[in-house]
Structure 1
Amino acid sequence: MPTDKVYKTADDFNVAVIGCYSKLQGQVSYFTECCEYRSDNLSLSAPTAGTQDRYDIDQFADKASNGILESAWANFNNGVYRCNLVLDKIDAADFDATLKKQYKGEALFVRALTYFNMYRLWGGIPMTDKVVTVAEALKIGRSSEQQVFDFLTGDLNQVINENMLPSSYTGTDTGRATSGAAMALLGKIYLTFHKWTEARNVLSQLIGRYSLMPTPDKVFDVDNKMNDEIIFAVRFNKDVEGEGHGYWFSIINLTDDTNQTKALKECYKDGDKRKDLITYVKVEDKVCVMNKFKDLKSATYNTVGNDQIILRYADVLLMYAEALNEISYSNSQTSDAMVALNAVHTRAGLSPVQITELADQDSFRKAIMLERQQEFPYEGHRWFDLVRMGGAKEAMKAEGHTIQDFQFLYPIPKTELERINNTELLWQNPGY
């Protein structure tokens, strides 16, 4: 059906924007696979017929024909297409201007999040801000790092500066992208590109705007999913067929080849409440559920009600501490960076970190890196944190992998290289 016949009313565009969000449900498993198995959080002891691609990711035996990477590339780009379709059509529609601005802001946010995740996996990727034909798509080349940065920050700064998104929602709209989500994502993008001052400036606006839950387990309460700590999450609904989330959260066969690494299991101090969250509890014969995402009312694949948290306040606090430390190390116990770090650390039931333990900028950086590993396992952060903070080679060497700089990125899928068939537009990442 022609799109000009479909997208006319506010209801039409609401459905279209929800379609943008729905693509994120498929995306979260891809970047979690490409982040957790890649890192020192998870490992596979041996491949099976169904886990070879995942095993290759875990072992740094990357192939351009990896099915996970091929599917991820296609899924991400389909999500971008949906966002661009909204943005292409919405200005010509006739309905409430405030609602129209919100829908545009949501589409810009989801597009920025999608392209950001693609960039973290592959580096510069082909990007477009409008709907293109298949023939036109074949002529779009890879963007430079600067072009990616300008595209992502341009979208999000537009959302923020033009007040496109509300600070919160009520009722069934709860969980849609907010102004705070746009700021948190922008801060993470600035960190990724090592724009420390810009990251500090935007993240500082979120300090005190959200709050930490009293204990770590409360963050993941399925009966209070959009709690005060959650800034943005991909929503799942176990009561709707096909809308449950099962990849990380539910069924783990006790004979599965997936293992938590020694590095993860031993990174916690005695008394750290977060350690209990990475253990598995038995629900029924040969089925166990990770405590962190426990939803005991549902113990079958794809019927877990947990959302996939993308941005939360603990992340903002640690990103803020990271930006401040990179700008200028402070040896004060009461510095903003130290206060932010200890807010997360003490919430876990631990005594405050003392500045005497962090003698210089590098030791402070490593403390943040460790805190992030303890706070965010299985949330899709670890590999990206290691790459951004310069700890990937050391961490993977401890896991028995000697890696090279080119392995910070994945190979461009073979299917895409063959489709474009022009190395001046789309070329393979060096080393592959």
Structure 2
Amino acid sequence: MKKILYIALGCVLLSSCDMDLGQQPISEGTSETYFQTVNDFTQGLTAVYSAARTYPDRLLNLSETRSDNLYAVSDGGVRDWEGINSFHKNINANPYVVDAWEDNYIGVFRANNYLEQLATKGESVVTDATLRRRMEAEARFLRAFFYFDLVRYFGRVPLIDRVVSDAEAKTIGRSPVAELCNFIEQDLLFAIDNLPKPSAYASVDAGRVNTYAAKMLLGLLYMSKSGPTLNVDGIGQNSNEWSKAVTQFNDIIASNEFSSLATYASIFDYANERNREVIFNIEYVSGGNPVVGATFPWVLVPDRYFQSFGFTAQGGLTIRPVSTDLVNRYEADDVRKSFSIQSSFADGPVVENRPFIKKFVDITKVPTTSRMDWPINFIVFRYTDLLLLKAECILNGAAGSAATEVDAVVNAVRSRAGLTAPLVGVTKEQLLEERRREFIGEGSRWFDLIRSGTVEATIKAWIAAEDSGGQMDDFIIDYILYPVPQSELNKSPGLYEQNKGY
């Protein structure tokens, strides 16, 4: 079965690999000559999808590592993730931060260019109006996806909704978060109305974004806006849109396109991709030239673990230990702990007793030629996440839902994990902890803490309890946003102001 590949098409579709804000994804000459057939538009859309390739790694480096799930302080060397984990204020040139800005804007620019070409040439080239609207909807969903990621990490960012020149880009300042959220919402509403359900796609198009993925992202947007402002210029606006989120989630549930799987491990099985738990994937295929496989399974796993099985070094990664606090939050019979966490291993005479996340590693699938080529998709939205997010909305007062739904959902999740003692009267705190155990390694924890308004108290208490060596800096609320990369500040001095705290 053919996959929708999230691959970079290089200079075939990009006029250069420069990441300047004003860089047009397709040069004027290429734009004039390239989009001549339906297949050209299909391949052009693939280039927009390809910008999402680094999304999973970004979640692991900027959300999972930032949260209380990992205690990733120095192990004797200088590691880029340490400044993220330890709340250093001088991370405005950190490569993970820079990549989050640049990679998302590459996606935005590709989407803008594609939409412009579709608007000017699409009607004469893609004569099937339904297909043309679907193509537009896919590109607009992806643009919304990239902007949602930007706003969650940086707050105010430049809103660029069309192809612009270098000179013009350097005059566009950061837009208010409310304006950015409205822009994201409008793109998603169009996508919802014009994307098919997943079962309506032909097999050759399986893996493309569907209407329920757009509904899921829209619901998450409403929830994120509903979180407290926390006195920073982030995505939380205390907007009380919990009921609007539930409406989107209920539509997905009613579709009967998705369901929870019987076992936790089967969700992430390499032989069970696109299972009924999956609402939206970032898709990869290994063994290609150029390499277009996944990198995320390797990100949180130390090289010595692979070497203990006889594999060569994967790139020099050392351990990012799971926090003691998280390890202790699992009950004795919880299968999610043993599946997601490697408690120890021996590499010859050296024994490593610090636990780490190995959730996405199937040791029989380790790529032997490149650490960049794992044959596994990344699940962005899954059905269990939807159910627990709906439960969160109910606990926050969403209209038309019963509190008994919360207990039923949480107990179903716990039962799949092997826990037989039911909970009664589940609280927000209990729900948050259940999400922490369920989604370990999936990059949701940091955003859960922000959305719930518990980030400051939780992180401060965690640092006090876990950082006995005093290696982490003090947490301040401004750190729920990342700094604008210094490279962006330098392009147009005075155009952007730095986020507070950096």
Q: Same fold (TM over 0.5)?
A: yes
Change (3 A) 1:331 1:192: closer
* 1:106/1:165 contact within 8 Å kept: no
- Within-5 A mapping of 1:344-359: 344-351=413-420, 353-356=422-425, 358=426
Alignment partner, residue 324 of structure 1: 394
Q: Which residue of structure 2 lines up, in the alignment, with residue 339 of structure 1?
A: 408
Q: Find the aligned partners of 1:262 and 1:59 in 2 and give their Cα distance.
A: 16
Q: Which residue of 1 aligns with 2:30?
A: 2
Please, which moves more after superposition, 88-97 or 168-177? Answer: 168-177
* Shift of residue 353, structure 1, vs aligned partner: 3.7
Count of residue correspondences: 421
Secondary structure, in 3 states, of the residue corresponding to 1:88? helix
Structure 1 pair 314–136 and aligned structure 2 pair: CA distance change class (3 A): same
Cα drift, residue 50 of structure 1: 5.7
Amino acid at match of 1:259: P
Q: Distance in 2 between matches of 1:309 and 1:290?
A: 16
Q: Residue in 2 aligned with 1:236?
A: 284
- Is the alpha carbon distance of 1:399 and 1:289 closer, same or farther for their aligned partners in structure 2, counting shifts above 3 Å? closer
Q: Tell whether 2:187 aligns with 1:192.
A: no
Contact 2:394 2:401 in 1 (8 A): no
Root-mean-square deviation (CA, aligned residues, Å) is 2.5
1:415 pairs with one of 477, 487, 496: 487
Is this contact kept in 2: 1:121–1:410, CA < 8 A? yes
Residue aligning to 1:395? 458
Match of 2:16 in 1: none
Distance 1:24 1:243 in 2: 12
Offset, 1:4: 2.4
Q: Tell me, yes or no, if the aligned pair for 1:295 and 1:306 is still in contact at 8 Å.
A: no
Does structure 2 retain, via aligned residues, the 8 Å contact 1:28–1:308?
Answer: yes
Over 3 Å counting, the alpha-carbon distance change for 1:182 and 1:393 in structure 2 is same
C-alpha deviations, 1:304-361, integer Å up to 9, x for none?
212111100011001101111101599977x2233233332222122364324x4xxx
> Secondary structure of the equivalent of 1:265?
helix
Q: Report the more deviating stretch, 121-130 or 203-212.
A: 203-212
Query: What is the aligned-residue identity percentage?
Result: 29
Aligned counterparts of 2:77 and 2:170: Cα–Cα separation in 1: 33
1:369 matched to 2:441? The reply is no
- Does structure 2 conserve the Cα–Cα contact (< 8 Å) formed by 1:112 and 1:155? yes
Q: Which amino acid aligns with 1:317?
A: L
Distance in 2 of aligned mates of 1:269 and 1:329: 33
Runs of 4+ in structure 1 off by over 4 angstroms are 47-50, 281-291, 328-333
| Cα distance in 2 between the residues matched to 1:330 and 1:106 | 31
Work out which of the residue numbers 260, 269, 276 in structure 1 matches 2:338.
276
- TM-score normalised by the chain length of structure 2: 0.78
Cα distance change on mapping 1:15 and 1:331 into 2, 3 Å: closer
Name the residue aligned to 2:190: 158
- Deviation for aligned residue 1:289: 9.5
Q: Which runs of 5+ in 1 are unaligned?
A: 359-363
Q: Give 1:119 shift.
A: 0.6
The residue aligned with 1:384 is 447
d(CA) in 2 for partners of 1:97 and 1:297? 45
Q: Which residue of 2 aligns with 1:302?
A: 372
| Alignment gaps of 5+ in structure 2 | 1-28, 227-240, 306-317, 465-471
Describe how 1:62-211 pairs up with structure 2 within 5 A: 62-63=89-90, 64-91=92-119, 92-93=121-122, 94-95=125-126, 96-160=128-192, 162-168=193-199, 169-194=201-226, 195-208=241-254, 209=256, 210-211=258-259
